[in-house]
Structure 1
């Protein structure tokens, strides 16, 4: 499982060999960091704070608690923390090639800031962890587990887990105890012995997608570094082969919308990671094959340019003048103040289309709805205060003192509580009036 790596004779930290091999065999850089702490028998966060963080090539960046809660997950990604931690750990351990424990090889085609790439929580395959323990190897988390779209383990055909089987809590990105196989809250083992026998049914589509994601993590010999221009060249070839050069039709074939590919080409933008993954899925190729193999001669069989039927855009169904007339009619209707979203849904246009042409009308409709809600809230509050007064008098007329407990019981069926300030003020006022009446009696 261990690939070739270079070490020098001296280093500040142990020259711990990384676990590599491509696919789901390669561990993540965070996993390597925790194993390094275990090798030194220290708290993983102490290793980060006192050894790794001071060595990071970052300008004026102090270690904040938010790093452990959120930013630590990007150490496995393509951004500045992935680059900085790779450099620091290579310098501290004298082990080279640690960028292979991250997705930095794909930074040329994946945007650094974007949704749907890295998972926001720690996930694992219990059977994989149980096997590691059974084989007496260091507990480690494969890099592919940190991808948001990676949902199932391809070795054991079971979904990844994200909650401790003992305490039901999520795991910290960088734990204190230097063993990722232990819960960061109760220290229970995340893979009970029963994990070895568990069998679950998963979808074939989930398996294919998981294999596609694993292909991103190649061995050092097969590593690729795709770029945005390379992706555009692939899509241009596909357009010329299948749609006579029309990128709009190709976008539809790939399920990306009408202007996705043209937008990437014109603005030199990178597609969001879920879009890149969808392209490979529709072409029935892995992400690695998308950049290393030739495209098929025929378009995806699920749809062809002639077979594609898309819903007409709302703008084509409704003219600008008609839309303006309907919006003004809704604005002038005195007995109606619906939410803008409901109005546009009934009319049959999107908010972006209506806002582009008539932003002032939409603002007025929004303001009208807000006023209506405020008025309704005020009216309900008056009714609730009157309800408190009636309940108070009913209890008093029955010969009982309207205590807070009795009032709360009587108000419960109406879903009212004296914890609300206006209702509490009304109750205090009524209670004071009773006291004054009793004091005024001879």
Structure 2
């Protein structure tokens, strides 16, 4: 009879992210800081907790805020998966730019090194009775203004005047200065000396629209689909001439050639130029959804003439049926011998991080079942070795010798002793048990 599998309790508080499905979606940096504050620990302590979960070591001088955990690199993947595993909150990769990593080059997303923020957004959070938080849009270097309040983002505290006061500290409470502790919230006011250019507002709105769509994405964004959209733009608007297209957006023709013949991918800044110069939105361009797009000039177009060389094949992103994955994970839960999350990921040809992000509950059930199994197996090995250890301890005491690891190894067969973990701790328990037994016998006598 199979046992009912219960959802394991989360190790960390299951905080609900703010702004999901909107242009004001919370960044993973903000979520991490709020999580540390909710546990009353430093950001370094929480960093070590996440690292230990993935069996990694955090150096004493580790600067977590330099790791671009809200970007599109491996660190964002690892941190979002780790936080999902420890909090039981699924889909924390949607608090990063990871959904767009197939269509933005690894070095093509500039993340601000010094945390910027909109003081009016913080003031609005407090007014709405909400804890202030950092928006994901603020992490992008392409965003320099708040599209909602129409004011420039800042890195300075209006009270102490210090720079980089948003989150670069051991203890962070989002919305408060990490240097002087004064709230960073400030109602919007007219700034006559700070001019906001129309293109700055346009870029901020485009990034906001892109982030708002992340929550509703059901399939991986495809690089091939993106390049197919660029091909259509070149074909219909530039008569198939990639050189004309390159001049239009101010890049070299060889760069365009590298996209199609090599493994290059446009940067976010170049993608925004393509969208701005060809009458489409950034979201439509990156998703390859140009069904409603029309070239500014309607005329007979030429087919793009490509080189006769065989193009380098590009790996098509795998379409993952998560309902089927859930069924297979549930099957793994019923196996007579439990398996680890890593083994389950290997059998499904996935990464454990993906399982924590998309099938959080079942994955954590697998992990808990595996831990319980290891504990029971270790206990059985200790039980098997216990009589041998008792005899060895009694013999050593009778000979007037101390119980040491070397003496025990010399007296107990290797096949009995080698499976026992933490031998010294087990020996302490054996000796304590023998002493209690001896005391009881003396009392009865």
TM-score, L = length of structure 1: 0.60
Quick check: 1:22 aligned with 2:21?
Answer: yes
Matched, 1:249 2:247: no
What is aligned with 2:64? 68
- C-alpha displacement of 1:295: 6.4
Change (3 A) 1:55 1:233: same
5 Å-filtered alignment, 1:55-94, equals 55-56=53-54, 62-63=58-59, 65-68=61-64, 70-71=66-67, 74-94=68-88
Structure 2: give runs of 5+ residues left out of the alignment. 1-5, 302-445
Structure 2 equivalent of residue 363 of structure 1: none
Q: Is the 8 A contact 2:107 2:267 kept in 1?
A: no
Q: CA separation of 1:232/1:219 partners in 2, compared to 1, >3 Å: closer, same or farther? A: closer
Listed one character per residue, the Cα deviations across residues 83-140 of structure 1 (whole Å, up to 9, x for unaligned) are 11111111101110101000110110112234x5211110000000011122221111
Show the counterpart of 2:371.
Answer: none
Q: Distance in 2 between matches of 1:69 and 1:242?
A: 43
Per-residue Cα deviation, 1:5-64 (whole angstroms, up to 9, x for no partner): xx9551101111111333432100110111112222333332223x2221236xx55335
Cα 1:61–1:261 shift into 2, 3 Å: farther
Q: Where does residue 145 of structure 2 map in the other structure? A: 152
> How far did 1:172 drift?
5.8
Q: Structure 1 residues 239 and 211 mapped into 2: Cα distance closer, same or farther (>3 Å)?
A: same
User: Structure 1 CA distance, aligned partners of 2:11 and 2:183?
Assistant: 31
In the alignment, structure 1 residue 53 sits paired with structure 2 residue 51: yes
Separation of aligned partners in 2, 1:252 and 1:27: 37
CA RMSD of aligned residues (A): 2.5
**Matches of 2:61 and 2:291, distance apart in 1:** 47
- The aligned residue for residue 34 of structure 1 is 33
Contact 1:30–1:174 at 8 Å: present in 2 too?
no
The CA deviation string for residues 348-407 of structure 1, in whole angstroms up to 9 with x for no partner, is xxxxxxxxxxxxxxxxxxxxxxxxxxxxxxxxxxxxxxxxxxxxxxxxxxxxxxxxxxxx
Q: Tell me whether 1:103 sits opposite 2:100 in the alignment.
A: no
Distance 1:183 1:280, change over 3 A: same
Deviation at 1:171? 2.4
Q: What is residue 440 of structure 2 aligned with on the other side?
A: none
**TM-superposition CA deviations, 1:157-204 (whole Å, max 9, x none):** 000011111222222645333312111112122124xx3444565222
* Cα displacement (A) at 1:212: 0.8
Does the CA-based 8 Å contact 2:80-2:93 persist in structure 1?
yes
Report 1:193-272 matches (<5 A). Answer: 195-199=187-191, 201-217=195-211, 218-222=213-217, 225-272=220-267
2:119 maps to 126
SS in 1 for 2:216: coil
Deviations 1:188-236 (A, max 9, x none): 22124xx344456522221111111112212522466433322221121
Note if 1:289 corresponds to 2:289: no
Tell me if the contact between 2:249 and 2:270 (Cα under 8 Å) persists in the aligned partners. Answer: no
Contact 2:258 2:264 in 1 (8 A): yes
2:99, 2:214 within 8 Å by CA — same for their partners in 1?
Answer: no
Q: C-alpha displacement at 1:253, in angstroms?
A: 2.3
Choose between structure 1 and 2 for higher RCO, CA contacts under 8 A separated by at least 6 residues: 2
**Equivalent-residue separation in structure 2 for 1:56 and 1:159 (angstroms):** 39
Using the alignment, how far apart are the partners of 2:276 and 2:151 within structure 1? 21
Query: How does the TM-score come out when normalised to structure 2?
Result: 0.60
Residue 165 of structure 1 aligns to a residue in which SS? coil
Q: Unmatched 5+ residue regions in structure 1?
A: 1-6, 306-442
Instruction: Name the SS of the counterpart of 2:230 in structure 1.
Output: helix
**CA distance, structure 2, for counterparts of residue 53 and residue 172 of structure 1:** 24
| Cα distance in 2 between the residues matched to 1:45 and 1:128 | 27
Matches within 5 A, 1:132-171: 132-169=125-162, 170-171=164-165
- Counterpart CA distance in 1 for 2:234 and 2:266 is 17
Taking a change above 3 Å as real, the CA distance of residues 118 and 38 of structure 1, as seen in their structure-2 partners, is: same
The alignment covers a number of residue pairs equal to 288
Greater shift in the superposed pair: 89-98 or 207-216:
207-216
Residue-by-residue CA offset, 1:389-436 (whole Å, 9 max, x unaligned): xxxxxxxxxxxxxxxxxxxxxxxxxxxxxxxxxxxxxxxxxxxxxxxx
